[in-house]
Amino acid sequence: MLTTRNVVVGTIGSDVHMIGAWVLTKYLESIGFKVKFLGAVVPQEEFIAAAIETKADAILVSSMYGMGLIDCEGLRDKCDAAGLGNIVLYAGGTVVAPRELETNWDEVQRRFVAMGFNKVFPNTVMPEDVGKALKVDLGIND
């Protein structure tokens, strides 16, 4: 089903790992999303500029090097300031140190939600699960 919804996907901060974001991009395209893929080492401002340019409904941020919590801090505030107050924000990957992912996932989720993210996913998430969640958060009915 075509959604005609636009999303921005990329790897935030100084992270060079982009395979997961690329796989997610290909999956989202296969279920009808229009995806602006930004690649790796993407500053917050580039995500926002791409979201404005494409009239995006969501920004999906990948981070695999364990610094996602730091790299994502302030993104919601910057989105709000740019007029993107209702945009859906997701983060996923190894967003904190692997040990913390394993032992304290509830706290990781709480911290991302407190920063204004709608959802955060661990590095074991399947693209289908992200797609389902995105459809729910965007009110897309199949």
Would you name the residues annotated as active-site residues?
15, 17
What is the per-residue DSSP string for 70-89? HHHTTHHHHHHHTT-TT-EE
**Vertex 5, ends 64 and 14: CA angle to 5°?**
20
Cβ-in-10-Å burial (0-12, 13-18, 19+) of 4 comes to exposed
